[in-house]
Amino acid sequence: MKTSIVVITALMVAGFLFLIFANPLEDRVENLENYLAKQEALIDSLQKSNHAQINSLNISMNQQLDLIDSLAHINNEQNSTLQTMINSLKNVINEHNANAQRIVDSLAHVNNEQDSTFQTMSNSLENVMNEQDSTLQALIGSLAMNIGEDIMALGNLITQQQYYADSLNLNMGGYIDSLFALQQSMIAELLESGINALFTDTEVFSGAMPSSWTDLDLSSVVGQKQSLVMLRYKYNFSDSTYSYVAVRTNDSNFDSGSNTSINSILLNSKDNPSSFMLLQTDSGGMIEQRETSTNNANVTASVVFYLNQ
């Protein structure tokens, strides 16, 4: 706009000077009037153009103002929606925190109850252990007072085994007599010296019985010393098969020969699921065992009583 005015002004000045110096006065006056008329027409045209441009600018400004108002309205609506979402999120967070606090309080209550229950169980277990200790002490005292009677009972048992072996008419008389004499001698020696006697129930073997003589270490129970041991063998199958189990002192040359002898028992699931045997270990607490039948039976052996010095 400013550039157009400068150009028009320059043209007017140039034309005016031309009219002054190039024509006579009358012509210059006429030309000047014509020139002024043209200038007025040009000014009118420029004013009209300026009015049109101003109107266009006003329309554009009004449109921009309308757009700004629309954007402001949209922004207000978005702010309202955002505030609603923020309030909703705050409510959800508050509810979540309240639920979390309730869970924490519930867990704390459960933990307190568990602590109380555990303490009650601990106290009960301690009472039971104290009672068991008292019972065990009483049993030990009773064993110490009645050890002589127990040894006599063992002697009677050995006598009964001797009678049973004789009644079976086995061709083992010499070995059985020797074993009986050895056991009697051992009992006599035990009576004359300090002895250790203990009723226990300690598992020393579980699995398939070997078919040949195999060492069985009892030293973890009786110690590495010569002991008189009572073993209980239990049959672990529920079928109708059976097993003949034999035992002997480690490194002895005794062989049962038949399936029934002083140190051989029959086990089955119906009539005789468990049975006892009495024998002597070697000086290291070792014995030997085998199955004289061929059923590869699964059995469990436990030491239930032993005597040693």
Q: For the domain 190-308, what is the CATH code?
A: 2.60.120.340
- What does the domain layout of the chain look like in residue ranges? 1-145, 190-308
Question: What pLDDT, in 10s, does the model give residues 215-241?
Answer: 999 999 999 999 999 999 998 877 667
Of the pLDDT bands very low, low, confident and very high (cuts 50, 70, 90), residue 263 is: confident
User: Is 168 or 47 the better-scoring residue by pLDDT?
Assistant: 47
Q: What is the 3-state secondary structure (H, E, C) of the chain?
A: CHHHHHHHHHHHHHHHHHHHHHCCHHHHHHHHHHHHHHHHHHHHHHHHHHHHHHHHHHHHHHHHHHHHHHHHHHHHHHHHHHHHHHHHHHHHHHHHHHHHHHHHHHHHHHHHHHHHHHHHHHHHHHHHHHHHHHHHHHHHHHHHHCHHHHHHHHHHHHHHHHHHHHHCCCCCHHHHHHHHHHHHHHHHHHHHCCCEEEEEEEEEEEEECCCCCEEEECHHHHCCCCEEEEEEEEECCCCCCEEEEEEEECCCCCCCCCCCECCEEEEECCCCCEEEEEEECCCCCEEEEEECCCCCCEEEEEEEEEEEC
Question: What pLDDT, in 10s, does the model give residues 28-60?
Answer: 677 777 878 888 888 888 878 778 888 888 888
Among residues of the chain, what percentage have pLDDT more than 70? 68
Instruction: Return the closest-CA partner of residue 155 out of 176, 196, 198, 186.
Output: 186
Of the pLDDT bands very low, low, confident and very high (cuts 50, 70, 90), residue 109 is: confident
Of the pLDDT bands very low, low, confident and very high (cuts 50, 70, 90), residue 214 is: very high
Predicted local distance difference test score (pLDDT) of residue 257 = 55
User: Is 264 or 149 the better-scoring residue by pLDDT?
Assistant: 264
Of the pLDDT bands very low, low, confident and very high (cuts 50, 70, 90), residue 74 is: confident
User: Chain-wide mean pLDDT for the chain?
Assistant: 77
As beta bridge partners, residue 261 has 264
Of the pLDDT bands very low, low, confident and very high (cuts 50, 70, 90), residue 288 is: very high
**Claim: this prediction has a pTM higher than 0.85:** no
Residue 87 has pLDDT above 90, yes or no: no
Q: What is the 3-state secondary structure (H, E, C) of 36-59?
A: HHHHHHHHHHHHHHHHHHHHHHHH
Predicted local distance difference test score (pLDDT) of residue 94 = 84
